[in-house]
Amino acid sequence: MKWIAIVGVLSAAGLAVARDLNCWPDSDALYLFGSSPNAKQHELFMFSSHHKIDGHRGLIKTNDTRQEFVFYQCSVASSKYKNGGQIRSKTNPSMCVTPGAVHREVNGELEQYPADVDDRISLQPCATDHNLLLRKQWFTKNASPKSCIFQVTHHGWSTDAPSDVIVMSENGVALGSDVNPGTVQSMFLGPKKGFETVAC
């Protein structure tokens, strides 16, 4: 009985550690946009209540928006994660940019996980526990030639494939993995005009 009690205490302690996700703002309020490597293609994004994904506002391209987002750096939830964090709404920091799935390598092939879900990006409540929702919301950020712009890559667990290729359809926006990302659009946080911005 004593052994069972000790195990219970250790299990509870483990859960407490998993739920101790500490996040803080690590960028200015910026716009979410897609751009190609040569910056000749530029798509501005917003979340629309007219394009729901499982009851949540879905990401669509738009000509103009007032929606801004902040990158929140988070303490690493567990050894499964790289340094990174969440992309949160400026007006409601409890809401996070949430792809519907991650991509992982299985037997040398990339597959979507979970396999049977809508992979489009939506705005959902930010996860605070180490769970699948947090894995979907985990991004890393990378510097770009302009200091006010940085690329955001959906990474999930450190063993997941980085998803930084924008996949657009009439019904929304998703992120995918590509072996040759130099020819496609990637996702960034920055000024509304993106790389057309004269000065940062």
**What is the rounded average pLDDT of the residues 15-34?**
78
Domain that holds residue 108: 22-196
Specify if 69 maps to a domain: yes
Q: What is the pLDDT of residues 157-190, one digit of tens each?
A: 999 999 988 998 878 999 988 655 555 789 999 9
Look at residue 30 and give its three-state secondary structure: strand
**What is the rounded average pLDDT of the residues 84-112?**
94
Mean pLDDT of the chain: 84
Q: How many distinct structural domains can be found in the chain? A: 1
**What is the rounded average pLDDT of the residues 140-149?**
84
Specify if 44 maps to a domain: yes
CA distance 74 to 93: 13
| pLDDT given at position 37 | 65
Specify if 11 maps to a domain: no
DSSP-assigned states of every residue in 88-153: EESS-TTEEEE-S-EEEEETTEEEEESTTS----EEEEPP-SSSHHHHHH-EEEEE-SSTT-EEEE
What is the CB neighbour count within 10 angstroms for residue 88?
21
User: Among residues 10, 1, 6, 164, which one has the least CA distance to residue 84?
Assistant: 164
Specify if 38 maps to a domain: yes
* Band of residue 94 on the pLDDT scale cut at 50, 70, 90: very high
Percent of residues, the chain, with pLDDT higher than 70: 84
Q: What is the pLDDT of residues 1-17, one digit of tens each?
A: 434 443 343 333 333 33
Specify if 14 maps to a domain: no
**What is the rounded average pLDDT of the residues 100-121?**
91
| pLDDT given at position 3 | 40
Specify if 5 maps to a domain: no
Specify if 176 maps to a domain: yes
pTM (predicted TM-score): 0.86
pLDDT at 195 over 90: no
User: Among residues 67, 57, 72, which one has the least CA distance to residue 32?
Assistant: 67
Domain of 136, CATH number, reads: 2.80.10
pLDDT at 138 over 90: yes
Specify if 16 maps to a domain: no
